[in-house]
Amino acid sequence: MDGNILFAFSLTLIAGLCTGIGSLLAFFTSRTNTKFLSFALGFSAGVMIYVSMVEIFFKAQVTLTGVLGSPAGNWTTAAGFFGGMLLIAAIDSMIPEPGNPHEVKKVEDMRYRKNKTGGETELLKMGTFTALAIAIHNFPEGMATFIAALQDPALGLAIAVAIAIHNIPEGVAISVPIYYATGDKKKAFKLSFFSGLAEPLGALAAFLILMPFLNEVMFGVMFAAVAGIMIFISLDELLPAAKKYDETHLPIYGLMLGMAVMAVSLILI
């Protein structure tokens, strides 16, 4: 497992820095490619849902029933799964509404809003709150990716890819209002970049706090919780956002392709 630690940290860092990619995209386009974002978010949700229910939850259940026995292991798996859902739901409930990362934002919408209201201060506040909200949101995602990669590098890679994809529109959500409020691309990029660093910080917290206590039971519970977190993010954030970007069947096609790619990957790996 020690050989996987650096790999796990690297995955969380790469996934987190994809907010910076979203920030850069916002600077070099005049219109949001809603079809791409819709398909990408659907794809990300497909990867997360498939790997959570087919692989992560199953591994957690096998581990816990092997250690605790059938009734206790099954109950503990279910408790960990719904505990993960409740954790990410609680984090969402603490996020201020102006910075809710689930709200779909587009480049042209932000320009229109500034021209309409003249509210540079309001836009700056929105972008700052969004950066803070996404940083808070990214923290448990970093923990989840790190723990998954420690137990199974292939699973960690799959989760990191899915998180990286959905971090791109989050980078747009941070940088666009800040840029149109201040005209400072560097400031917009820095806030987007630093919010993404919450992913590796979450991994570091998992390493420092949880590693001394990791055993088969802890791994099983954490794996079940990771599955719950991924399912919640997919259903509460990714799919609704994908449908808002494009109301056709494009998000579902992305979802199906994400599941298919994950299925093939798990079979081959």
Residue type, 243: K
Q: How many CA atoms are closer than 13 Å to the CA of 153, on its beta-carbon side? A: 11
Question: Residue 147 is which amino acid?
Answer: I
Q: Read off the pLDDT band of 106 (50, 70, 90).
A: low
For the chain, what is the radius of gyration of the CA atoms? 19
Residue 1 has pLDDT above 80, yes or no: no
Say which residues have a Cβ less than 8 Å from residue 226's Cβ, sequence separation at least 6: 52, 56, 84, 144, 147, 148, 159
Local confidence band at 125 (pLDDT 50, 70, 90 cut-offs): confident
What is the C-alpha separation between 169 and 264, in angstroms, rounded? 26
Contact of 206 with 143, CB cutoff 8 Å: yes
**What is the 8-class DSSP label of residue 2?**
G
pLDDT beyond 70 at 250: yes
The candidate with the shortest Cα–Cα distance to 266, out of 142, 159, 163, is: 159
**Residue list for the binding site for Fe(2+):** 138, 141, 167, 170, 199
The candidate with the shortest Cα–Cα distance to 139, out of 95, 176, 107, is 95
Name the residue ranges covered by the structural domains of the chain. Answer: 2-268
pTM score: 0.76
Mean pLDDT, rounded, of the chain: 81
Handedness of CA 81, 84, 89, 92 (dihedral sign): negative
For the record, the structure tokens of 262 come out as 């994950």
Q: How far apart (Å, rounded) are the C-alpha atoms in residues 117 and 187?
A: 22
pLDDT tens sequence across 148-200: 888 788 888 888 888 888 788 778 777 777 777 777 778 888 888 888 888 99
Residue ranges of the annotated binding site for Zn(2+) are 141, 166, 170
Q: 222 and 152 in contact (C-beta within 8 Å)?
A: no
Residue 69: which region, alpha, beta or left (left: phi > 0; alpha: psi -120 to 50)?
left
Residue 215 sits at the vertex; the CA angle it makes with 75 and 222, to the nearest 5 degrees, is 50
Q: Which residues are annotated as a binding site?
A: 138, 141, 166-167, 170, 199
Q: pLDDT by residue (tens digit) across 52-98?
A: 898 889 989 999 999 999 899 999 999 999 999 998 888 877 765 55
Q: Which of 66, 71, 141 is nearest to 101 (CA)?
A: 141
